[in-house]
Structure 1
Amino acid sequence: MRLLQGICNWVIHPLCLWVMFFKMYSIRLLCFRICVAISLWLFSPVMGSSQEINDVPDETTENAAVESTERWEEFEENEAFAGKLADLRLHPVRINQADKEELERLFMLNEFQVLALLDYRKTYGSFSSPYELANVPGFSTDLARQVSGFVIIEPDKWDVPSVKEAFMQGKHTLILRLQEPMQKQAGYRDGYYQGSPLKFYLRYAYRYNTSFSAGYTMEKDPGEPFPYFPAGSLADFTSAYIRTDQNGILRRFVAGDYQLAFGQGLVMWNSYATGKGSGLIDFRRRAEGICRFSSAEENRFFRGAAGTLGLGNTQFSFFFSSKPVDANVTRFDSYSNQVLEFSSLLTTGYHAAPDEIRNRKSVDQTVIGMNATAAFSDFRIGTTWVHYSFDGFWRPYPEPYRLYVFRGRENTVSGIDWQFQRGDFFLFGEWAMTSNKAAAWNAGFLLKPDPAVMASAGLRKYAPAFNNLFARPFGETYNGSNEEGIYCGLELQIFRNIIVKGYIDVFAFPWLKYEVDAPSEGSEKMLQVSWNPEKMLSMSLRFSVESKEKNGISDKNGLTALSTYNTRNVRYYLELNPSEEWSFRTRMYAGMFHTNNSNAKISTMLAEDVLWNLTGRKVRITMRYALFDIPDYESRLYAYENDVPMVYSVPSFYGKGTRIYILGLFRPVRWLEAGIKIAGTSFLNRYEIGSGETRIGGNRKTDLGFQLRLSL
C-alpha cells in the first residue's frame, strides 16, 4: 500500500502542482478563459473526427439519486451513488463475457431482466452492438439505451500481454474537476475556515479488459487547506487501489482501498445500496463481494487488502483493513498522545473548521473478516464473519434513545444468507447476530407469474440492541437497528407502453429514536405510472405518501406526546425529443406537509430543461429555469440537476425564488471532453443565505464548476 501511495505521490502529484499556482487567481478567470477558447473553437470550421456526447441521465437514475438524498440526507450516501455510477462509466460491463454476478452491477436491471439477458446471449450468441439489447425479452427501448451507456463490446479472448502491451492496450482515464462559489461565506472572510472555497478533484483510472484495474483519487473539499501537508500529500483526501480478476484459484485480489458487499447487508455492506424511493420493485441486495472503491466519500471504505479464492462451486473471501477514522473525541491523554474515549464517528469528510481538523483521523480502526459462499443449481448459501475494533473506547452520550447504542472497543458480527431460485420465483434472506447476542433478520421473495407482472414482498426485524457499524440492509433505518416492517411491491405492464409500479411499506420502531421519545410506527406508499408511447415522448406521474411519528409540542408539565407527521408528494416528469438536436424536459413537484397539530404546508416547484445537441460540433448545451415556493426547511423539496459527467446534483429547496443553470459539454476529439456549469439561485424573501459561518450576504448564490476528462 505504501509503495502504491509512493508511486501516486511521485507520478500523479506533479500533475497538480499547477493548482498551487492557480490558488493565486480566481476560478472565475479560468472559466472565462475556457469559455473564450471554447467559443473560438465552436464557431471555427470542424477539424478531424470526434465522438458524440451521450451522457444524459434517465429517469431511473434521477429517481435513485433523489431517493438517496431525500431518505438519508447525508453527503456520504450521495457520494456513494456518484461513485457507483462513476465505476460503471470507467469500468463498464463486458456484455458478451459477463456472468450473472457481473451483470448485477447494472442496478437498473431487475433479477428477471438479468436472467433474460443471459438466456438471450446463450440462444443467439454474442451481442454485436449495445443497441441489440432492445431485442432481449423484457427490455424496452429506453432501458436498452440506458444500459448501453454502461456496457462495452470486446473480443471474447485476450492474449496474455507483456507489461508494456498491457499499459498501451489498456484504457486510461484522467478526470480533473474544479468547483467554487462566487459569493464567499462568512467563515472565509473571518478566517474560520483554514483554506479557500475551491473544491478540487483529481482521479486517474486504468482498466485492462476485466482482468486488471487500478485507480487513484485526490480531493480537496471547500475550506480545507491546499496543500494539506499534515495529511502527507497535496490534498486532505487521497485514495488508491489495484485490483486483479482471474479464472484460477485466486478469483479476485484488491490492495489499497476497497468496499465489501455480502448477503443482504446485515453483516457487511459498505457499498452503495438502492432503496425504496428509486421505484425498484426488486429490493433484494445484490452482493458484489469485493468492490473497487470509486467514491470521494472519505469514510465508508476499507484500506488494506482483500481476496477471493474459488474452489469449484465454493468461494472464500478474506479481508483486512487498518485505517484512522474521524471521531468526536471526549477524553484524550496528552502525555501518551492517545485517545481514551470518543462519543461517535464523524462521517462528513470535511476538515476545514478547527474542530473538524482536531478530530480528523483521531481513532484507529481495524477490521478483519471472511465470507464463504456455496452455489448450487438453484440454491446458494453463504456465511459472513467480521470483527472490528478501535484503539479508543466508544462511549456515546447518556441519552435515553442511545440506551442500546454500541459502546466498547470491539464488536463481532456473524450471519448466514441464502437464496433459492426456481423458474421465475426467488426466495432470499439473511440472519445475523452481534457479540452482545442481539439478532436481526430479513427475508423476501420475487415472483414473475406473467411477463407483464412482477411482485415482491419482504419481512424484516432488527433488534434495538443489534449494533453493526457496517450494516446496510433494506429498511427505514440506515444501519439496520431498532426496526420491524413488512414491504409489498407490484409492477404491471398494462399495455405495451404503460407501466404501473407501486409499493406499501409498514414499519415500527420498538425503542426510542432521535427526536422520538417513545416507540413509534409509520408507513410509506408509492404509486408511479409511466407512459412511453413513442421514442420522442415519455412521461410519468408519481404519488408518494409517508407517515411517521415524532415528538410533538410539550405540554405545561414538560411532557411530550408523539405527533403524526404526514408528507404527500407528487412528481410529474415529461420528456419530449422532437429531433436529435433538441430535447425538452418538464418536472413538476408538489408536496404537502402537516401534523395532527398543525395546518398543512404546501410546497411547489416547476423546472423546465432544454437540451441542445450540436451533433456536427459534438457539443451539448443544457439549460434550466425553475420556480419554487416552499414555506420552510421542514417542507423542503429535492430536485435533480444535470451536471458534468459522473457528478449527480440533488440540491434541496425552501423559500421562494428561482433557480437557473447552464451546462456545456464539449468533445472536440474522441479522447477529450470538457464541461462547464454555471448555476445561480435567487431568493425573493431573504436578505441573507445561511447562518453563522456559512452565512452569505444578499439573496443570491452562484456556483461555478469545470471538468476536464481525458480518455486514452
Structure 2
Amino acid sequence: MSLSVNKLFSQNNSTTDWEEIIEQISSDEAEEEKSVENYIEELSELNNQPFNINAVTKEQLEQFPFLSDIQIENILFYLYISGPMQTIYELQMIEGMDRQTIQYLLPFVYLGEYKENISTPSFKKMLKYGKHELITRSDIPLNKKSGYKSISDSVLQENPNKHYLGSPLYHSLRYGFHYKEQLYFGFTAEKDAGEPFFRKQNKKGYDYYSFYFLLKNMNYLKALVLGNYRLSFGLGLVMNTDYSMGKSSSIATISYKNNGIHKHSSTDEYNYFRGIAASYQLKCFVLTAFYSHRKLDATVENKLITSLKKDGIHRLIHDFERKENTVMQVLGGNITYKNNTFHLGLTGVYNFFNRLFIPDIKPYNIFYPRGKCFYTLGIDYKYRWNKLSFVGEAAICQSGRVAILNILRFTPFSGYQLVMLQRYYDKGYAAWFARSISEGSDIRNENGFYMGVEANPIKYWKLSAYADFFHFPWLRYGVDKPSSGFDGLVQATYTPKRNMTMFLRYQYKVKDQNYIGEKKITCPYVKHKLRYQLGYTLQKFFSLRTTVDFVIIHPENVSSSHGFMLSQMFSYSFQQLPLQLSVNYGFFDTDNYESRLTTYEKGMLYSLSLPSFYGKGIRTSLHVRYDFNKYLTALVKISQSKYMDRDEIGTGLEMIAGNKKSDMNMQIRYKF
C-alpha cells in the first residue's frame, strides 16, 4: 500500500471526535473545560501532523492516554524484530493491541519509510516552512442575567458588587506558530463574560494575556521555553500542571507518562508558570531547570494571604481588589536517568511568596501549609521486567510529611491487563502544583488501594473494571469526621466494525458527606450511575450517537433522588459542500442538584463541552462547521435549555428570568 493511501486511511479512519473520546474514558467527576484545553490542542496538532509509524519514538507514543506502557513497548519491539511495517494493518499483529485501541491510534500515524540521521533544520528554515494558526472565539448569551440589568446609582453606591462591570460577551484571541515538533510560539488573550474591556478597572483590553516560545528536540537541547509554560514530572506528586485523567474506564490512563516541559497556550489562568525552563539531554540523562515569577489573585487581610483565587474571573469590584496582589516565585529542577527497562528521576521545587500565607484556621485545614517559603522533593521510578511494569513516586515536603504512590501493571497474555495501585498522602503533605491519582481534590489526607482489570475475552468485546478503596484520616471540607469510601466501575464495550461502537457502564460509589436534615450529620452518600451509549457512522458522512444516563443518589437512611437523561446526536457531512452539521437533542428529569447529569456536546475547537443539568427539561443544540478552504474555517453553535419546573434559572447575579437559557458560540480559524 502506498504512503499516500495509508496516510489518507489513517487520517480519515476516526469515527469519533477526540473531545468525545476524552469524555467517554475520563473519570466520573468531569474537570473544568479549561483544564483540558492544552491537551485537546496538542492532540489536534498531532492529528494534523501524524507520526511515521516506522520511525515513531517512545516519547511520541507516550503522548497518547489510551496506550499503556506495555503496549508502547510492544509496538517498538515489533518494529525492532520485524522491521518497518509494510501495511498499517500490521498493527493488529502487535500483542495487546485491540480493535478499539487501534482505532484511537490510526488518526495519529501513517506508513512511511524509515529514515535515520535526519539533520536538524536551521531556525530560518523553521520560520519559512512553519504553520500559523489564528483563532478568535465569541460566546454570546441570548438571555439577560441579573448582573447586567440596570440599577440605580444609590443602590450601586451602597453595594458596588451588585452589578457586573463589563458586557456579557466572552471573547478570546489565539495565535500560534509551529514547525513540526520543534518550534512553537504564540499568544492567547481572553475576556470572560462580565469583565470590562478597555474601560473602568481594566484599561489594557483583555483581562488575560499569555505568551510562549518553545524550542524542542534540537540536538542535545530537549526543550527551551520562554514565557508561559507547564511542567510535569513522575506521577505528579511534586509537579504536574498538565491535564490528568486519573481513574477512568480505560486503565491505560492510570499512570501518567507525558513528562517534561510543555507550552501553555490555553485560557487556564492558574495552572501554569511564567519565566524560563530548559531541558538538556546527555546520553541516558535528562537535566531540567526552571524558574517562574508571576502574580496571583489572593485574598489579603492584614498583609497576610488567607486564600488564593484560582478562577481568573474579574467582573466585580471585589474581584479587582484581589487581582494580582500577590507574587509567587518557583525555582526547581529535575534529573532523570532512563534506559529501555529502567527509569529514575529526582525532582526538587522551591516556592516562595512575597508575603506570609496564613489561611483562616478551620477544623479541616489545620494541616494545610502556612508560611512564606515551601519546598518539596520527590523521586520517581519505573522498571519493566517481561510482562511486569512497576511505576512509582515518593515525595517529602518541608514539614517532613510524605506522599507515596506505587503502580504495578501485569500483562499475562495478549488482551489482558491487571493494574494495582497503592497511595498514601499524609494529611500534612503540601505541594502547590501537585496533581495525581486521588479521590480528593488535593494530594493530601488520603490513603487508598486500587485494582483495575481489562480483558478481551471474545472477539470485538472489551471488558474493563476497577475497584478503589479510599480513606481520609482527617476531616475534609464538607465532611466533619475522618471518613472512608469505595468507588467501583464496570464497562463492556462492543466494537464489531470500525464504524460502530457500543458500551454499557455501571459505576457504584459510596462516600461520606455532611447531610443537613433536622440536624447536621455526616453519613455515607451512595451513588449508582448507569450509562448506555451507541455510536454509528454510515459511509463516513453520517453519524449518530444515542446516550442514556440514569443515576440514583441516597444518603444513608434518607430517601433517594433519581436522575434520567436521554440524548441523541445526529451529525452529517455534506459531500458536495465543505459543511458539517451536528444536532443534539436531550430530555432530562432529575429530582435535585445532587442527581444532576452531565452530557457531551460538540463544541468549539480545542474545548470540551460538558454541560450539566438538573430538574426537568429539554436540551437542544445545533453545531455548524464550514470550511471555506484549507485555510479558513468557521464554527457556530446555538444551544438552548428549556426547563419545565421553574420560572427562573440560576441564582444571584447569574439569575435569568424565565424558563429558557439560550447561548451562541462563534469561532473562526485561519491557518496559513
TM-score, normalised to structure 1, is 0.86
Structure 1: runs of 5+ lacking an equivalent: 1-49, 332-339
1 CA distance for matches of 2:310 and 2:86? 45
Q: What's 2:404 paired with?
A: 441
Change (3 A) 1:182 1:272: same
- Given that 1:327 and 1:343 are in contact with CA atoms closer than 8 Å, whether structure 2 keeps it comes out as yes
Distance 2:472 2:67 in 1: 31
Post-superposition offset of 1:460: 0.5
2:43 pairs with one of 88, 91, 113 = 88
1:225 is aligned to 2:196: yes
Please give the alpha-carbon distance, in whole angstroms, between the structure 2 residues aligned to 1:237 and 1:285: 29
Give the partner amino acid of 1:118: L
Report the Cα distance in structure 1 between the residues aligned to 2:655 and 2:218, rounded to whole angstroms: 56
1:648 and 2:608 correspond: yes
Distance change in 2, residues 1:498/1:686 (3 Å) = same
Distance 2:210 2:652 in 1: 32
Amino acid at match of 2:610: V
Please name the residue that 2:223 is paired with. Answer: 252
Q: Is the aligned partner of 1:392 residue 2:355? A: yes
Q: How many angstroms apart in 2 are the aligned matches of 1:555 and 1:179?
A: 43
Q: Are the aligned partners of 1:492 and 1:499 in contact in 2 as well (CA < 8 Å)?
A: yes
Partner of 2:475: 512
Deviations 1:519-554, CA, capped at 9 Å, x for gaps: 000000000000112234321000000000112347
1:614 matched to 2:549? The reply is: no
CA distance in 2, matches of 1:654, 1:686: 11
Q: Secondary structure at the match of 1:445?
A: strand
- CA deviation digits over 1:422-470, x for unaligned, max 9? 1221001111111011111111111111102101001011000001111
Structure 1 window deviating more from structure 2 (391-400 vs 253-262): it is 391-400
Q: Which of 516, 529, 537 does residue 577 from structure 1 map onto?
A: 537
Residue 662 in structure 1 maps to residue 617 in structure 2: no
Partner of 1:212: 183
Cα distance between partner residues in 2 of 1:181 and 1:127? 51
**Is structure 2 residue 273 aligned with structure 1 residue 302?**
yes
* Shift, 1:134, TM fit: 5.7
Shift of 1:93: 5.6
Equivalent residues in 2 for 1:444-523 (5 A)?
A: 444-523=407-486
Residues 276-355 of structure 1: matches in 2 within 5 Å?
276-331=247-302, 340-355=303-318
What residue in structure 2 maps to residue 9 of structure 1?
A: none
CA distance in 1, matches of 2:564, 2:50: 40
Cα 1:57–1:519 shift into 2, 3 Å: farther
SS at match of 1:494: coil
Distance 2:542 2:340 in 1: 49
Render the CA deviation track for 1:195-252: whole Å, top value 9, x for unaligned: 1111112111111122211121111111111237966743111111111123533221
Q: Match for 2:191: what amino acid?
A: K
Task: For 1:181 and 1:197, locate their aligned partners in 2 and report how far apart those are by CA, in whole Å.
Answer: 7
Determine the structure 1 residue equivalent to 2:526: 566
Contact 2:525 2:554 in 1 (8 A): yes
Aligned residue among 348, 368, 388 for 1:405: 368
**Deviation digits for residues 134-180 of structure 1 (CA, Å, limit 9, x no counterpart):** 66554445433433444577885766555553223112111111111
2:653 corresponds to: 693
1-structure distance, mates of 2:108, 2:10: 16
Give the 3 Å change call, closer, same or farther, for CA 295–69 of structure 1 in structure 2. farther
| Letter in structure 2 aligned against 1:430 | E
Residue pair 1:470, 1:479 contacting (<8 A) in 2 also: no
1:326–1:362 contact (8 Å) kept in structure 2: yes
Once the two structures are TM-superposed, the CA of residue 635 in structure 1 deviates from its matched residue by 1.2
Distance 1:433 1:417, change over 3 A: same
**Residues 531, 695 of structure 1: CA spacing in aligned structure 2 closer, same or farther, 3 A cutoff?**
same
CA distance in 2 between counterparts of 1:423 and 1:707 reads: 49
Task: State how far apart, in whole Å, the 2-side matches of 1:390 and 1:518 are.
Answer: 32
Confirm or deny that 1:419 pairs with 2:382.
yes
For structure 2, the 5+ residue unaligned runs are: 1-7, 152-162
Deviation, structure 1 residue 70: 4.9
The Cα shift of 1:283 comes to 0.8
Instruction: State the shift of 1:419 in Å.
Output: 0.5
User: Partner residue of 1:379?
Assistant: 342
**Is contact 2:548-2:567 (8 Å) kept?**
yes
Equivalent-residue separation in structure 2 for 1:244 and 1:538 (angstroms): 39
Q: What's the offset of the Cα at 1:124?
A: 5.3
Change (3 A) 1:136 1:69: closer
Bigger shift: residues 222-231 or 627-636: 222-231
Tell me which of 572, 575, 583 is aligned to 1:623. Answer: 583
**Which aligned pairs between 1:51-90 and structure 2 lie closer than 5 A?**
58=16, 61-62=19-20, 64-65=22-23, 70-71=28-29, 75=32, 78-90=33-45
Asked if the contact 1:468/1:479 (under 8 Å) is kept, the reply is no
Identify if the C-alpha distance between structure 1 residues 126 and 699 changes in structure 2 by more than 3 Å, giving closer, same or farther: farther
- Distance (Å, rounded) in 2 between the aligned partners of 1:283 and 1:60: 19
Counterpart selection for 2:643 from 683, 699, 705: 683
- Match for residue 112 of structure 1 among 70, 76, 79: 70
For the pair 1:187 / 2:150, whether they are aligned, the reply is no
- Whether the aligned pair in 2 keeps the contact of 1:259 and 1:302 (CA below 8 Å) is yes
Q: CA deviation at 1:593?
A: 0.4
**Distance in 2 separating the partners of 1:228 and 1:258:** 29
Q: Compared with structure 1, are the counterparts of its residues 506 and 640 closer, same or farther at alpha carbon in structure 2 (3 Å cutoff)?
A: same
Contact 2:65/2:253 (CA < 8 Å) preserved in 1?
no
CA distance in 1, matches of 2:187, 2:268: 14
How far apart, CA to CA, are the structure 2 residues paired with 1:232 and 1:54? 46
SS in 1 for 2:37: helix
Change (3 A) 1:679 1:293: same
Is the partner of 2:412 in helix, strand or coil?
strand
- Look up the match of 1:359: 322
Partner SS for 1:62: helix
**Gap change, CA 1:274 and 1:136, over 3 Å in 2:** same
Deviation string 1:118-146 (CA, Å, 9 cap, x unpaired) is: 23443555568878756655444543343
Aligned length: 649
* 1:276 alignment partner, SS class: coil
C-alpha displacement of 1:473 = 1.9
Distance in 2 between the 1:164 and 1:224 partners? 40
- Match of residue 169, structure 1, among 123, 129, 151: 129
**In structure 2, distance between residues paired with 1:260 and 1:674:** 33
Deviation at 1:274, TM superposition (A): 1.4
- 1:93–1:412 CA distance, 2 compared to 1 (3 A): farther
Distance in structure 2 (CA, Å) of the matches to 1:228 and 1:159: 51
Shift of 1:65: 3.3
Shift of 1:52: 13
Mapped partners of 2:304, 2:548: distance in 1: 49
1:288/1:193 CA distance change after superposition, 3 Å:
same
Task: Provide closer, same or farther for how the CA distance between residues 228 and 431 of structure 1 changes in structure 2, counting only shifts above 3 A.
Answer: farther
Contact 2:19 2:608 in 1 (8 A): no
